[in-house]
C-alpha cells in the first residue's frame, strides 16, 4: 500500500510538472504575433494558414537547364556591384527564413535592410553557420552532412539586400516570403530587445530537444494534455484502432513502440488517420516510412518526427473539429511473426481554429520513375502549406547514385518560385558522393541524411519546415528530378509529404498493393575498392597499399594496388574488405582486376580455409580483366568480411601484386 501511495504521489508530481511546463513555456495571442522568430517555437501555430503573399527563393541553379548549379559560379549572384556580388535583393515586407550553402568562405557577407547605405549585419560567410556571430546562434544555425544552414529569421519592412565581398561564390540558396503591410513586420535589429531574447531562448531550447517530448510546444500555452494509451496485437488482414475520440481537439503527439515492430522491407503495416468522420484517410502511409524509416529500418531523429531508442514519435499538431481516429493495418500473410504495438496519443481538447488547416500525410512511390518527368511528391489544389518531405531513392545499378544530382522544384499557384541546386541540397546537405560529408545517416532538427549506400544505389533525406513552409493559396506542385538533367535516369523513388490544408487535398490518397510497396534489393552489388570500400586489414609486413589509375583501350581504370614481397607474419600476404549486403543469401564473388607481369595468384578464404579457385593475375602485358570468378559464399545481410590472399605467383611473374578495381557479389539463389 505504501508503494502504491508513493507511486501515486510521484504521478501527481509529474502531472503538476507537465502542466507547469505547458504554462511556463509561454505563448502569445494573435495580437502579439508577427512572422519571424516566433515561428521557430510556436508549434501550436504550425497549422495556421499563412498570410504570406509569396513564397520564393534565390539560388545558384543553372538557368540553362544544365547541371552547373554553382560549380562555376556563373549563376551564383543576382548582379555584381563594386567589390562584391549581390546574392539577393528582396522587396518587403518580408522574412528571410533559410540560408544554405555547402561552400562557405571567409569572405564578408553583408545584410542591408530598408535601403540603408551601410550594412546592418556584417559576418564572415563561414561564421554565419559556425556560431561565430551574436545574431546567428546554434542550434538555429549549424552544419553537417556536407551542408551549412541558418534558420535565423531576418524580417525586413521595406527591403533586404544580401551582398558578399567576393569575386566568386558557388552554391547557395536563400528562402524567403513576402507579406502585405498588414502583417506588421518590423525590420530586424542587431540590438536585440529583451522580448526578442525571450523568443530566441525558447527557440534554441526547442531546437535542442530532438527525440524528447515537445508536446507543450505543439499544444500551446495553458492547454491541458491528456495521454491516451493502447496496446494492440497486429494481426494479418485486420485493422486495430489505437486512438478514437468524438469531441473537438487536436493530437499534439504520437508515440509508438517498440520501433522494432515496424522494422521490415515489406512496408506491410499501414498507418491511417481520419478526421471528422471523413471516410477517406488524412494520413495514409506505411507506418515505418511515416516515422522516417529508410528501406525498412529507423533512420531519422528530427525535432518533429522520427525514432528515439525504441520509440517512434510525431509532434506535428493535428487539429480537428469533432472527431479523430487512428489505426494500424497489417497486411502481411498469416505466417508472419506476431507483434504487439504500444501507442500513446497526446490529446489536447482545443478544437481547430477557423484559420487553421487540417494535417495530411501522403505517401507516394514511382517504381520506376518516368523518363523525362520529375518525381512528384504532391500535386494538389486548394489552400495550405507543405511542412515536410521525406525521400528514399533507389537506383537500379550498383555503385551509381548520379540521380541525386537532380534539382527540387516548387510550383505555387501556377508559378515556379523555387528551383534547387541538387537533391541533397534540398535536405541541407552537400557533396553526396564525397567521403566525410553526405556518406552516413545524420539527423539535425529540421533536416538530415537517411543514408548513403553507393554500392546499393541508395540515398535519401528529410526536410521539415517551420517558418520556411511552402504556402499556397490555389495550388502547389512539389517535385524533384531523378537525373542531372532531363530526368533521363530511371529509378525507384518514394516519398512522404506532410502538409496542412484548408480543405481535403485533391491528390489521390491510395497505396499500391502490399507486394508493390516492398523494398527491392539489388541482386548484383559492386564494391569499388578504389573509392571508399572499407579495408578491414591487410598484410602486417613487407607490403604497401596505394591507389592508382591507368588507361586501357582509351578508358581510365582506377584500382587499389597491394604490392608485397617476401612473407607476412602469419603466412600469405592478404587484404580483407568490409562488404555490406542488403540481404542474406548465397553470393557468387568476382573481381575486376588489372593483370600484369608483377601480379600474384589470389584466392578467397573464409575461416582460414580456401573457398574458391586460385586465380592467376599474371599477364605478359598489363590489361584490364573484369569479372574474374573467385568463389561462392553464404553471406549475411549487413557487413561481411571478404578475405583475399596472395597464395603464390606464376613462375614468370616478377612480384606478388594485386591491383583490384571492384568486388562483385551476385545473389545466386
- CB-count exposure of residue 115 (10 Å: 0-12, 13-18, 19+): exposed
Among 261, 256, 255, 241, smallest CA distance to 332 is for: 261
Measured distance CA(28)–CA(39) in Å, rounded: 12
| Residue 107 three-state SS | coil
- Which of 1.10.3720.10, 3.40.50.300, 2.60.120.1390, 2.60.120.1440 is the CATH number of 30-207? 2.60.120.1390
Check whether 4 has a pLDDT greater than 90: no
Cα 151 to chain centroid, rounded: 17
Share of the chain above pLDDT 90, in %: 91
Rounded average pLDDT over 389-393 = 98
Among 222, 207, 532, smallest CA distance to 350 is for: 222
Class of domain 525-667: mainly beta
**pLDDT tens, residue by residue, 217-243:** 999 988 999 999 999 999 888 999 999
| Residue 415 three-state SS | strand
Would the CATH topology of 30-207 be identical to that of 525-667?
yes
Which pLDDT does position 24 carry in this prediction?
Answer: 36
Confidence of residue 31 (pLDDT cuts 50, 70, 90): low
Q: Where are the domains of the chain?
A: 30-207, 525-667
Rounded average pLDDT over 577-595 = 97
Rounded average pLDDT over 580-586 = 96
Check whether 424 has a pLDDT greater than 80: yes
Confidence of residue 337 (pLDDT cuts 50, 70, 90): confident
Cα 276 to chain centroid, rounded: 32
User: What letter would DSSP give residue 68?
Assistant: -
Confidence of residue 613 (pLDDT cuts 50, 70, 90): very high
Look at 235 and 341; give whichever has higher pLDDT: 341
HEC profile of 267-298: CCEEEEEEECCCCCCCEEEEHHHHCCCECCEC
Look at 334 and 659; give whichever has higher pLDDT: 659
Confidence of residue 333 (pLDDT cuts 50, 70, 90): low
Measured distance CA(600)–CA(614) in Å, rounded: 10
Q: Kindly report the number of other CB atoms within 10 A of residue 10's CB atom.
A: 10
Can you give the length of the chain in residues? 669
Check whether 443 has a pLDDT greater than 50: yes
Measured distance CA(263)–CA(288) in Å, rounded: 7
Rounded average pLDDT over 364-383 = 98
Is the previous residue joined to 515 through a cis bond, with omega within 30 degrees of 0?
no
**pLDDT tens, residue by residue, 64-116:** 999 999 999 999 999 999 889 999 999 999 999 999 999 999 999 999 999 99
Check whether 23 has a pLDDT greater than 60: no
Which pLDDT does position 63 carry in this prediction?
Answer: 96
Check whether 22 has a pLDDT greater than 70: no
514 and 435 in contact (C-beta within 8 Å)? no
What mean pLDDT is reported for the chain?
Answer: 93
pTM for the model: 0.93
E strand intervals along 82-180: 84-91, 94-101, 108-113, 121-124, 141-144, 147-150, 154-156, 159-164, 173-178
Which three three-digit cell numbers place residue 316?
A: 506535428
Look at 195 and 32; give whichever has higher pLDDT: 195
Which pLDDT does position 435 carry in this prediction?
Answer: 87
Q: What is the CA radius of gyration of the chain?
A: 28
Write out the H or E segment, with its range, that includes residue 580: strand 573-581
Measured distance CA(265)–CA(458) in Å, rounded: 14
**pLDDT tens, residue by residue, 118-129:** 999 999 999 999
Confidence of residue 336 (pLDDT cuts 50, 70, 90): low
Residue with cell 543469401: 585
User: In this structure, are strands 249-257 and 311-314 parallel, antiparallel, or unpaired?
Assistant: antiparallel
Q: Dmax of the chain from CA atoms?
A: 89
Rounded average pLDDT over 302-323 = 98
Q: For residues 39-58, b (16+ Cβ closer than 10 Å) or e, as one string?
A: bbbbbbbbbbbbebeebbbb
Amino acid at each position: 500500500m505504501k508503494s502504491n501511495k508513493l507511486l501515486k504521489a510521484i504521478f501527481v508530481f509529474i502531472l503538476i510538472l507537465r502542466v507547469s511546463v505547458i504554462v511556463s513555456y509561454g505563448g502569445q495571442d494573435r495580437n502579439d504575433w508577427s512572422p519571424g522568430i516566433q515561428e521557430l517555437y510556436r508549434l501550436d501555430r504550425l497549422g495556421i494558414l499563412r498570410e504570406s503573399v509569396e513564397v520564393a527563393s534565390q539560388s545558384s541553379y543553372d538557368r540553362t537547364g544544365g547541371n552547373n548549379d554553382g560549380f562555376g559560379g556563373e549563376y551564383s549572384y543576382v548582379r555584381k556591384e563594386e567589390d562584391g556580388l549581390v546574392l539577393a535583393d528582396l522587396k518587403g515586407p518580408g522574412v528571410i527564413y533559410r540560408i544554405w550553402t555547402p561552400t562557405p568562405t571567409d569572405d564578408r557577407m553583408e545584410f542591408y535592410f530598408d535601403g540603408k547605405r551601410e550594412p546592418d549585419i556584417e559576418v564572415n560567410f563561414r561564421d554565419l553557420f559556425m556560431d561565430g556571430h551574436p545574431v546567428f546562434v546554434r542550434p538555429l544555425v549549424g552544419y553537417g552532412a556536407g551542408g551549412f544552414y541558418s534558420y535565423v529569421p531576418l524580417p525586413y519592412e521595406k527591403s533586404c539586400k544580401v551582398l558578399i565581398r567576393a569575386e566568386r561564390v558557388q552554391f547557395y540558396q536563400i528562402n524567403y516570403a513576402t507579406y502585405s503591410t498588414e502583417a506588421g513586420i518590423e525590420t530586424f535589429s542587431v540590438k536585440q530587445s529583451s522580448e526578442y531574447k525571450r523568443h530566441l531562448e525558447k527557440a534554441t531550447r526547442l531546437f535542442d530537444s530532438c527525440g524528447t517530448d515537445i508536446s507543450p510546444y505543439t499544444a500551446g500555452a495553458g492547454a491541458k494534455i491528456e495521454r491516451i494509451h493502447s496496446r494492440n496485437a497486429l494481426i494479418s488482414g485486420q485493422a486495430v484502432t489505437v486512438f478514437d475520440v468524438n469531441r473537438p481537439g487536436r493530437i499534439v503527439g504520437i508515440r509508438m513502440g517498440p520501433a522494432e515492430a515496424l522494422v521490415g522491407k515489406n512496408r506491410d503495416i499501414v498507418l491511417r488517420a481520419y478526421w471528422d468522420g471523413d471516410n477517406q484517410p488524412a494520413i495514409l502511409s506505411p507506418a515505418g516510412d511515416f516515422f522516417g524509416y529508410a528501406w525498412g529500418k529507423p533512420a531519422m531523429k528530427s525535432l518533429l518526427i522520427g525514432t528515439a531508442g525504441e520509440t517512434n514519435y510525431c509532434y506535428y499538431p493535428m487539429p480537428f473539429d469533432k472527431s479523430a481516429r487512428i489505426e494500424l493495418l497489417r497486411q502481411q500473410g498469416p505466417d508472419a511473426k506476431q507483434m504487439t504495438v504500444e501507442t500513446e496519443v497526446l490529446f489536447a481538447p482545443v478544437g481547430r481554429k477557423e484559420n487553421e488547416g487540417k494535417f495530411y500525410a501522403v505517401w507516394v512511390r514511382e517504381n520506376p520513375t518516368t523518363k523525362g518527368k520529375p518525381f512528384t511528391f504532391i500535386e494538389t489544389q486548394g489552400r495550405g502549406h507543405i511542412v515536410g518531405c521525406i525521400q528514399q531513392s533507389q537506383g537500379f545499378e550498383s555503385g551509381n547514385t548520379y540521380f541525386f544530382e537532380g534539382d527540387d522544384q516548387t510550383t505555387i499557384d501556377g508559378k515556379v518560385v523555387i528551383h534547387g541546386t541538387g537533391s541533397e541540397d534540398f535536405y541541407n546537405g552537400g557533396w553526396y558522393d564525397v567521403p566525410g560529408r553526405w556518406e552516413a545517416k545524420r539527423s539535425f532538427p529540421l533536416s538530415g541524411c537517411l543514408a548513403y549506400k553507393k554500392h546499393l544505389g541508395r540515398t535519401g533525406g528529410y526536410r521539415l519546415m517551420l517558418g520556411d513552409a511552402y504556402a499556397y493559396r490555389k495550388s502547389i506542385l512539389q517535385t524533384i528530378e531523378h537525373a542531372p538533367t532531363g530526368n533521363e535516369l530511371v529509378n525507384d523513388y518514394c516519398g512522404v509529404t506532410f502538409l496542412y490544408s484548408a480543405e481535403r487535398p485533391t491528390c489521390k490518397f491510395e497505396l499500391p498493393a502490399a507486394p508493390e510497396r516492398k523494398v527491392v534489393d539489388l541482386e548484383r552489388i559492386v564494391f569499388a575498392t578504389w573509392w571508399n570500400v572499407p579495408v578491414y586489414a591487410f598484410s602486417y609486413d613487407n607490403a604497401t597499399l596505394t591507389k592508382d589509375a591507368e588507361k586501357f583501350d582509351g578508358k581510365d581504370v582506377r584500382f587499389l594496388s597491394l604490392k608485397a614481397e617476401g612473407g607476412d607474419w602469419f603466412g600469405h600476404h592478404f587484404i580483407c574488405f568490409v562488404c555490406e549486403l542488403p540481404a542474406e543469401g548465397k553470393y557468387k564473388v568476382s573481381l575486376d582486376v588489372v593483370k600484369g607481369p608483377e601480379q600474384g595468384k589470389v584466392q578467397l578464404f573464409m575461416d582460414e580455409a580456401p573457398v574458391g579457385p586460385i586465380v592467376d593475375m599474371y599477364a605478359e602485358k598489363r590489361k584490364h580483366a573484369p569479372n574474374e570468378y573467385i568463389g561462392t559464399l553464404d553471406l549475411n545481410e549487413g557487413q561481411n568480411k571478404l578475405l583475399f590472399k596472395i597464395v603464390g605467383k606464376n613462375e614468370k611473374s616478377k612480384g606478388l601484386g594485386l591491383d583490384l578495381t571492384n568486388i562483385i557479389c551476385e545473389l545466386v539463389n
